[in-house]
């Protein structure tokens, strides 16, 4: 029990802020010495372990994907040093998970079961008790999408529609399908999903290009977090839930305001000079 009560979400909070902190750490490093590399390695390891020990599989995997992406854009560290850092970090995670029964069960046994039974549970209209809950949620989201294919059932109305089990036996009563694409399709349909995703893609990559030119790592840290949120197949929880949306817009806001070329107040100053 914690201040999150019984919700398994602390890992998502740590993950959402980690790459802002990692990028800020890099901004303060004037030169990559052996000492700064060791500190950098320890800092990332502590943040990643903080997510892993929560047992949140999806956020742990997203952290690792984000870390690999972030390292790809990190030009100040040589390729061999990147491989050495990533290899060392992964070794620590593997050692931690393999020596803890709870984490080993979550990361290996339960994960393999969920992956192995996903297709069968998704296609089976009458799942057996104890089936794959993520597949049942996905199927429920897909059924709502099939009923409202163009504009969806409406934002945050999935929970209203899918709890009416007398309408469709494939509905699984929950607040969301727990996967961002099924949530978008079921609540916003094809038109709404394409519109929202197009807006996000334009915003993200506009900032990404500007950040690469300016060598500013804080927007890049936010970028890798925001992009990995949209990883297909991985469970994501409810995107439009208060805490998920708050973490999303914290990163989006910092991504913009930390980029001098895109910051609104810098535009205002340049206008005044002229």
Residues 164 and 198: their CA atoms lie apart, in Å, by 32
Q: Which residue has the higher pLDDT, 115 or 231?
A: 231
pLDDT of residue 274: 44
Global pTM reads 0.84
| pLDDT band with cut points at 50, 70 and 90 for residue 47 | very high
Give the pLDDT confidence of 86-120 residue by residue, as tens digits.
999 999 888 888 887 877 777 665 665 566 666 66
């Amino acid at each position: 029990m914690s201040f999150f009560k019984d919700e398994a979400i602390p890992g998502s909070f740590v993950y959402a802020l980690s790459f802002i902190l990692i990028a800020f750490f890099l901004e303060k490093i004037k030169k990559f010495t052996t000492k700064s590399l060791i500190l950098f390695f320890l800092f990332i390891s502590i943040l990643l372990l903080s997510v892993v020990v929560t047992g949140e599989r999806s956020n742990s995997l997203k952290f690792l994907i984000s870390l690999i992406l972030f390292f790809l854009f990190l030009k100040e560290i040589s390729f061999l040093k990147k491989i050495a850092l990533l290899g060392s970090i992964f070794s620590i995670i593997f050692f931690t998970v393999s020596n803890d029964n709870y984490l080993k069960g979550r990361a290996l046994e339960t994960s393999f079961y969920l992956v192995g039974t996903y297709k069968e549970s998704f296609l089976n209209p009458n799942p057996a008790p104890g089936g794959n809950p993520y597949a049942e949620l996905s199927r429920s989201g897909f059924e709502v999408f099939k009923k409202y294919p163009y504009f969806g059932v409406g934002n945050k109305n999935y929970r209203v529609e899918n709890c009416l089990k007398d309408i469709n036996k494939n509905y699984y009563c929950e607040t969301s399908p727990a996967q961002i694409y099924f949530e978008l399709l079921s609540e916003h349909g094809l038109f709404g999903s394409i519109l929202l995703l197009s807006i996000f893609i334009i915003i993200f990559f506009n900032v990404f290009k500007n950040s690469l030119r300016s060598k500013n790592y804080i927007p890049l840290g936010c970028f890798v977090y925001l992009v990995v949120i949209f990883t297909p197949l991985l469970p994501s929880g409810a995107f439009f839930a208060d805490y998920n949306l708050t973490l999303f817009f914290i990163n989006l806001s910092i991504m913009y305001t930390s980029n001098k070329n895109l910051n609104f107040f810098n535009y205002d100053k340049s206008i005044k000079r002229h």
